């Protein structure tokens, strides 16, 4: 019985000592919500986490054809690199940055409200609660309407996709990916 108490006391002392002697890794790179954010402190001689590759999220809109006076649904394919995810829309918590698509109207072609895909729920090291995310391949649907007076021919709708990529341990600063949707009005 005494040996058990000594063993437990020794473990507690060792645990306390190790907790006090090592700095917490996520605090310097945490954002205002406490979610760790990857950062590169090269000027200070330390790196907490490397930045994600520029193509961690690829956006591939499909060409769309529609008749003047009609509507159609455009498809925007997102491919998230292995080992990464982006927050779903809507996000799990209000402080998370949701994936968000904004598309400008064209000549007689008006985009509607994007229809975001179903998310998957995952648990990550940086969050005590599971989060709704997109990973792998997914697709955003975008309703498009052409006015009866829409100019016939090819045009391009300019869009911006705002994302925040994260890996298993941290989230990276949000970024905006510019894209364009080729539309042909018949």
Whether residue 39 is contained in a domain is answered as: no
**Short-list 147, 144, 174, 149, CA closest to 161:** 174
- Helix-strand-coil percent breakdown of the chain, rounded to 5? 10, 40, 45
Whether residue 28 is contained in a domain is answered as: no
pLDDT greater than 80 at residue 174: yes
What's the pLDDT band for 50 if we cut at 50, 70, 90? low
Beta-strand relationship, 175-185 and 64-66: parallel
Residue 35 or residue 63, greater confidence: 63
**Max mean pLDDT range (2-16, 33-47, 49-63, 169-183):** 169-183
pLDDT at position 13, please?
40
Whether residue 101 is contained in a domain is answered as: yes
Domain range for 93 = 53-185
Whether residue 2 is contained in a domain is answered as: no
* CATH assignment at residue 167: 2.60.40.1250
70-85, pLDDT tens digit by residue? 999 999 999 999 999 9
Whether residue 27 is contained in a domain is answered as: no
Q: For the chain, how many structural domains are there in total? A: 1
- Whether the CB-CB separation of 49 and 185 falls below 8 Å is answered with no
**Short-list 21, 37, 42, CA closest to 127:** 37
What's the pLDDT band for 125 if we cut at 50, 70, 90? confident
Whether residue 113 is contained in a domain is answered as: yes
- Whether the CB-CB separation of 143 and 11 falls below 8 Å is answered with no
Whether residue 31 is contained in a domain is answered as: no
Whether residue 158 is contained in a domain is answered as: yes
pLDDT at position 144, please?
98
pLDDT greater than 60 at residue 139: yes
Taking the model in full, what pTM does it have?
0.72
Residue that has been written with the tokens 């000027």 in this structure = 43
């Amino acid at each position: 019985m005494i040996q058990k108490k000594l063993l437990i006391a020794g473990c507690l002392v060792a645990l306390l000592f190790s907790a006090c002697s090592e700095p917490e890794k996520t605090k310097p790179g945490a954002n205002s919500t406490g979610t760790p954010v990857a950062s590169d402190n090269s000027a200070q001689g330390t790196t907490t986490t490397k930045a994600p590759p520029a193509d961690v999220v690829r956006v591939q809109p499909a060409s769309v054809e529609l008749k003047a006076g009609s509507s159609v649904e455009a498809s925007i394919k997102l491919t998230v690199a292995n080992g990464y995810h982006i927050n779903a829309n809507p996000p799990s918590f209000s402080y998370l940055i949701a994936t968000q698509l904004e598309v400008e109207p064209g000549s007689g072609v008006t985009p509607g409200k994007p229809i975001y895909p179903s998310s998957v729920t995952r648990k990550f090291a940086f969050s005590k609660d599971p989060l709704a995310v997109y990973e792998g391949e997914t697709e955003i649907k975008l309703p498009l309407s052409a006015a009866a007076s829409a100019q016939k021919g090819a045009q391009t709708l300019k869009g911006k996709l705002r994302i925040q990529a994260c890996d298993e341990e941290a989230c990276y600063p949000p970024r905006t990916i510019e894209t364009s949707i080729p539309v042909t009005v018949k």
